[in-house]
Structure 1
Amino acid sequence: MPRPSMTAWLLAAAAAIVPVSSPAREVDDSYTIGQRFEGYRDRYQGIAWPAVTWSGGQSVLFDRPYKNTGSRDLHLDVFRPAPGVAGGAKRQGVVLVHGGAWRAGNKSHFYALANLLAQRGYTVFLPEFRLSPEARYPAGMIDIGDALAWARAHAAEFGLDPGRIAVGGASSGGQMASLLAYAGPSGLFGAGRERRANALVDLDGVLDFTTAQALAFENAAGDASPAGTWLGGSYEHAAARWREASAASHVGAGMPPTLIVSSGIARFTEGRDKVVAALERHGVPHRTFAFTNAPHDFWLFEPWLPQVAEQIDTFLSSLPASKDSPK
């Protein structure tokens, strides 16, 4: 009887010890940091890859599961500050939602920024979530809401105040973070109290899908546009959903303190004026900052990246204790 090949033996052994895998799913890998750098290097003088330097005592927990969708686990990475970080480790956490036009991107895109924030004393949570090729709106919103709820529930484990967990994001992730921050407490994406952030950080994320300027870009390809694909149809076919998915549709007295950092390219922060007016009307702390001559993905590259960390740190450090904080 012939002996089985080494390949056949290894496959049989793997089948015996590895559980059945999750169903295959479509993955869009069109949005990468390298692809963006190549597109920008001749347009923005001084652009450079960030140098990620670790400080002694820092730690990172990779791929901790925070929920199961019914077909697979979703994971998050946790960047923790060193115990002896200058100024002391803060009790403030930040959940950061990556960009990629709701269809691509990866939590690893925030590693450089998460590292800088951890060195300033913050604990940073980077969740994966279902993108539009796998599941359309509101699946991804429910996922990031669950990630925020997970961070709040595990706050004591990380030495955090559960009432001081902010949510932020960049580009489409900024849009999602803004929507969660403003609509999450209403229960739109799950139990409201667990989805209450003490602050919002929006990095070039659209705040209102329904303005003429936003529609000119986000709805240009109709049902096939990235936003149309995520929302299940063009604005003409799903207007109510486009309005619901606009953070500016949920402004009110419960808005958290808000930081909006812009590349200076107006289309990416459409709705900002309406949101800022509401924040001022309700006396909610807020700050806006705009770069000049910066790429849309400014948070990925030097020289803008450290300035983003500085803006976030300055803003979050200025906030009073949340009313959700333990007395």
Structure 2
Amino acid sequence: MAATHPVDDSYTIARRFDGYRQEYPGISWPAVAPRTGQIIAFDLAYKSIGDRDLHIDVFAPPPQRRRNQGLLLVHGGAWRSGSKAHFYALANLLSQRGYTVLLPEYRLAPEAPYPAGMEDIRDALAWAQDHAATYHLTADHIAVGGASSGGQMAALLAYRGTPDRDPQPNALIDLDGVLDATSPLALQYENAAGPESPLARWLGGSFEQMPARWREASAALHVGPGAPPTLIVSSGTPRFTAGREHVLSVLQRNGIKNRVYTYARAPHDFWLFQPFLSVAVDQIDTFLRAIDADQAERTRK
């Protein structure tokens, strides 16, 4: 019998959609409509912890559209909720652009606190690199990305990873993820309820109780000359910009490709709904194509 684990299902697409319909006229719930030749594999086991398996979904493009670029996407949900299924619409559209998209399940706060989830997504990226040839990829052409809390986790993996020990992504895609939880702006929200704040529950205590761990979990405090090219797609909500300016300054100082796209007006979880979803797909596609062109140019030299 498979292991059971606690689940917080408070974050749902339907609940968010109902809350946004009046505020964003024209908002719609996208359908997931695969095209001929796409292959979607669900619930592949990538890691076992005792009798608990963690799974990954893979959206592979039609052969004629295939690009040599993968993208591991970490779902959001305030570190305690959410599902890899929340990325199905985004993964499907990116797959139709030629990308192989991988969506990992990972342990959330009700099951296991930090750093368990970080260990899981690290292992998911390692699994993707180990299985790159299966999906017509090369291990050094897999990016990591995420949305909201998943964006925070993806950035931490990309910026804090140790090159001789951790799998290295070739790009970071941050969709409204907080980059510095220790900044005054972030603390207004992420530490508002002290030990009961979602981030505090994931990290094991409030900022006042565990300042070193909050710094450890803030990607902006670890960004350096080895950081990957970075795309930030922002809803424009100030809360989710914490740490961005510092990250951009470090990237620019070190000549690392970076881009920020900010919606004129969009909900925080813009990746779930149209017309915002298609804009995010365009931004990700354009950025990854630019990285591919840069890598090709370096190879020619």
TM-score (norm 1): 0.89
Partners of 1:100 and 1:172 within 8 A in 2: yes
Partner of 2:15: 35
Partner of 1:102: 79
Q: How far is the alpha carbon of 1:166 from its aligned partner?
A: 0.1
Partners of 1:259 and 1:288 within 8 A in 2: yes
Task: Describe how 1:247-258 pairs up with structure 2 within 5 A.
Answer: 247-258=219-230
RMSD of aligned C-alpha atoms? 1.4
Partner of 2:156: 179
State whether structure 2 residue 2 is matched by structure 1 residue 25.
no
Partners of 1:95 and 1:166 within 8 A in 2: yes
Partner of 1:46: 26
Q: Percent identity?
A: 61
Instruction: Name the larger-Rg structure.
Output: 1
Task: Describe how 1:1-327 pairs up with structure 2 within 5 A.
Answer: 20-22=1-3, 24-85=4-65, 89-185=66-162, 191-192=165-166, 195-319=167-291, 320-321=294-295
Q: How far is the alpha carbon of 1:199 from its aligned partner?
A: 0.1
Q: How far is the alpha carbon of 1:183 from its aligned partner?
A: 0.7
Q: How far is the alpha carbon of 1:186 from its aligned partner?
A: 5.1
Partners of 2:59 and 2:100 within 8 A in 1: yes
Q: What is the letter of the counterpart of residue 37 of structure 1?
A: F
Mean alpha-carbon deviation: is it higher for 233-242 or for 67-76? 67-76
SS in 1 for 2:32: coil
CA offsets 1:86-105 (integer angstroms, 9 cap, x no match): xxx10100000000000000
Mean alpha-carbon deviation: is it higher for 107-116 or for 49-58? 49-58
Partners of 1:106 and 1:128 within 8 A in 2: yes
SS in 1 for 2:73: strand
> Which whole-Å CA distance do the structure 2 matches of 1:74 and 1:154 have between them?
16
Q: What is the letter of the counterpart of residue 130 of structure 1?
A: R
> Which whole-Å CA distance do the structure 2 matches of 1:63 and 1:307 have between them?
28
Partners of 2:149 and 2:178 within 8 A in 1: yes
Q: Following superposition, which runs of at least 4 residues in structure 1 exceed 4 angstroms of deviation?
A: none
Q: How far is the alpha carbon of 1:266 from its aligned partner?
A: 1.4
> Which whole-Å CA distance do the structure 1 matches of 2:181 and 2:19 have between them?
26
> Which whole-Å CA distance do the structure 1 matches of 2:112 and 2:205 have between them?
13
Q: Aligned pair count?
A: 296
TM-score (norm 2): 0.96
CA offsets 1:61-93 (integer angstroms, 9 cap, x no match): 1000001122401000000001122xxx10100
SS in 1 for 2:64: coil
> Which whole-Å CA distance do the structure 2 matches of 1:175 and 1:154 have between them?
25
Q: How far is the alpha carbon of 1:46 from its aligned partner?
A: 1.1
Q: How far is the alpha carbon of 1:185 from its aligned partner?
A: 2.9
Q: How far is the alpha carbon of 1:293 from its aligned partner?
A: 1.5
Gaps of 5+ in 1: 1-19
Partners of 2:2 and 2:51 within 8 A in 1: no
Q: How far is the alpha carbon of 1:52 from its aligned partner?
A: 2.2
> Which whole-Å CA distance do the structure 2 matches of 1:240 and 1:129 have between them?
24
